[in-house]
Amino acid sequence: MADGDRIVIVGAGVAGLRAAERLREQNFDGEIVLIGDEARRPYHRPMVSKALVMGTERPSDVGLSHYLPDLDVHWRLGARVTHLDTTERVVHLPGGESLWYDGLIAATGVYPRHLPGSPRHDPRVRILRTVEDSMAVRRCLHASKKPAVVIGAGLIGNEFAASMRHIGRDVTLVGHAKAPLHRFGDRVSSGIVEAHHEHRAKLAMKSEVRHWISTKDTVGLHLTNNQLLVASVVVLAIGSVPSVDWMRGSGLDISDGVLCDAKLFAEGASDVVIAGDIARWPNLRFDETPRRVEHWINAVESARHAADNLLMGHSSAKPFTPLPRAWSTLYDTRLQMCGMPSLAEDTVSLADGITGFIRDGRLVGISAWDKPRAMLDWMAELDRRLPAPDYVPEPEPAPEVPVAEPSVAALAADVPAEFDSGFDHQAFEREFESEFANDIPTTAFPAQSLPAPPTTAFAAQPGAALPTMAIPMGR
C-alpha cells in the first residue's frame, strides 16, 4: 500500500481488534487508527455476565491477547466518534478533532435496551455490557445481602442468574415469555428450566414489572403475577440496540445496524466496511435478506472478512457467507447454536438434546443442550445441507466512487487472490472455543462427564433424511 494510507477502525471491541490484526496479517503497512470509547483495550465481553460478575476473574484478567507480536496500531481509547462524513472521508471526535481515512471499518457493537418505566437513575438498577457494569453490579451485591433480580430471559439474563447461584446469591429471573430461552427450542428451554430448579434460581415467567419501589436500602418490584420482589440489584437484560448514532446524517442506512451488501461494504460507500454486531448483511447461504448476528464468533469472522474485503476493494471482494455459531455456558452445561434458528417455522428433534430448526422443509439451524460432541457432527451436516453459494446478487449495490489519491483498493494489486498468510483458522477458532470453555470455573458444581456420542435411537442422524414430523415452535 502507498505510504500515507490510513485505515480508521471505529469501535475497539473484539471486531475492531481482529480487523486490525487481519490488516497486518495481509501485510497492510499503512497507518491503522483504532478508536474506542471505552477506556480499556478490547476484552472478553462475554465474561461480563459470567466470570467478572461472579468475581472469579478480575478486569485485568480478561483482556484479549493479540495474535501478532507487533500490531503497530495507533490506539485512541476513551474517545467517542461523534460523526461520520463519507463524502470528505472523515470521522469527527469531541473537541472539534477530525480524522481522515482512506478506508473505514465500523465495529461499534450494541448497547443494552432500556426498560421503559424502570428507575434509570437508581444506582441499583443496572445493565451488563462493560467491565465497569459488572463491577457496579458487584458493588450492589456487596452493599446488600438481599437477592438479585434479572429482567429478561434471553442469554444474558440466564447467564446472570446462573452466575448469581454460582456465588451463592439468591436470584429471581423475570421474563414475559412462557419459558427462558424458548427461541432455542423446547429442549434447550426445558434444560435451562431444570438447571435453574436444580440450582435453586427462581423463575417468574409470563410476568412483567407493574411497579417499581425504590427505598433507601433496596429496590422493590411488584410483578404482574402479584409477586413482590425485594432486591439488592436489578439487572436489565431485555435486548440491545446497535450503536450507530455517530453515523446519523452520513447517508448510510442505519435503520437496524448498518445496511451492507453481501461483501460487508456499507450500502452506498465503497470505502466503508462493517463488522461485528452492527453489520446487517445478506448471508447468501440463507437468502438475500440483510440481518444482524450478535455473537462472538460472528464478530471475529466478520471482522477478518471485512478487513480482507476492504484491502481487496469492492470489485474483487467476496461475499461473507458464514454458518453463524454461538455458545454459552450455563451452570456447567454448554448451550450451542448454529445456523439461523430465528428463521424457522418449525422445530424437530434430531437426536437426544439436539433440536433442528426448519424453514420450508429445510434445516436452517441447530441448537444443542449439553451435547458438544454430537453438535460437531450436526454442524458439519448443516454446512453440507446449506452450502455457501458463490454468486453475488445483481445489481451490485455499492457504487464505484472515483479514487483521487492512493487508496486501500490499490492494495489489491499486492494481495494475491488466494493469499495464504499461513494463518491456521481452525486453530484460531479452537482457541476461542477453549477460552470460553473456561468462562465459568468448574469447581463450584460437580464437573459433568462428557456426553455420550450420538445414539442411534433417533430417526435423524447426520446424513440421513430429517424426521417428517415437525414440532410447532413455541414462540
Ligand X SMILES: Cc1cc2nc3c(=O)[nH]c(=O)nc-3n(C[C@H](O)[C@H](O)[C@H](O)COP(=O)(O)OP(=O)(O)OC[C@H]3O[C@@H](n4cnc5c(N)ncnc54)[C@H](O)[C@@H]3O)c2cc1C
Residues that bind ligand X (CB under 6 A): 10-16, 35-38, 45-46, 48-49, 80-81, 107-110, 128-129, 156, 243, 246, 276-277, 294-296, 299, 326-328
CB of 433 to ligand X, least distance (A): 11
Nearer to ligand X by Cβ, of 365 and 462: the residue is: 365
Nearer to ligand X by Cβ, of 6 and 295: the residue is: 295
Q: Which helix (H) or strand (E) holds 376?
A: helix 372-385
CB of 319 to ligand X, least distance (A): 19
Parallel, antiparallel, or unpaired: how do β-strands 258-259 and 279-282 relate? Answer: parallel
CB of 205 to ligand X, least distance (A): 21
- In angstroms, rounded to a whole number, what is the distance separating the alpha carbons of residues 206 and 225? 8
- Dmax over CA atoms of the chain, in Å, equals 67
- In angstroms, rounded to a whole number, what is the distance separating the alpha carbons of residues 384 and 387? 6
Nearer to ligand X by Cβ, of 327 and 357: the residue is: 327
Parallel, antiparallel, or unpaired: how do β-strands 125-126 and 110-112 relate? Answer: unpaired
Cell numbers at 87, concatenated:
463524502
- Quickly count helices (H) and strands (E) in the chain: 8, 27
CB of 224 to ligand X, least distance (A): 26
Cell numbers at 315, concatenated:
470489485
CB of 296 to ligand X, least distance (A): 4
| Phi (first) and psi of residue 470, to 5 degrees | -95, 145
Nearer to ligand X by Cβ, of 133 and 267: the residue is: 133
Nearer to ligand X by Cβ, of 1 and 306: the residue is: 306
Cell numbers at 136, concatenated:
457496579
Burial class (CB in 10 A: 0-12, 13-18, 19+), 316: middle
DSSP 113-163: PP-TTS-TTSTTEE--SSHHHHHHHHHHHHH--SPEEEE--SHHHHHHHHH
CB of 189 to ligand X, least distance (A): 17
Q: Where are the alpha helices (DSSP H) in 234-324?
A: 296-312
Nearer to ligand X by Cβ, of 17 and 203: the residue is: 17
- In angstroms, rounded to a whole number, what is the distance separating the alpha carbons of residues 263 and 386? 19
Identify which of 164, 173, 159, 203 has the alpha carbon closest to the alpha carbon of residue 49: 159
Cis omega before residue 467 (within 30°)? no
CB of 267 to ligand X, least distance (A): 19
DSSP 89-103: TEEE-GGG-EEE-SE
DSSP 162-199: HHHHHTT--EEEEESSSSTTGGG-HHHHHHHHHHHHHT
Nearer to ligand X by Cβ, of 211 and 425: the residue is: 425
Q: Output DSSP code: residue 387.
A: P
Nearer to ligand X by Cβ, of 243 and 321: the residue is: 243
Give the position of cell 469531541.
Answer: 94
CB of 461 to ligand X, least distance (A): 27
CB of 203 to ligand X, least distance (A): 20
Residues 108 and 278: beta-carbon distance below 8 Å:
yes
Nearer to ligand X by Cβ, of 156 and 415: the residue is: 156
Nearer to ligand X by Cβ, of 213 and 241: the residue is: 241
CB of 106 to ligand X, least distance (A): 9
CB of 335 to ligand X, least distance (A): 9
Nearer to ligand X by Cβ, of 15 and 264: the residue is: 15
- In angstroms, rounded to a whole number, what is the distance separating the alpha carbons of residues 282 and 195? 36
Judged by DSSP in three states, 381 sits in: helix
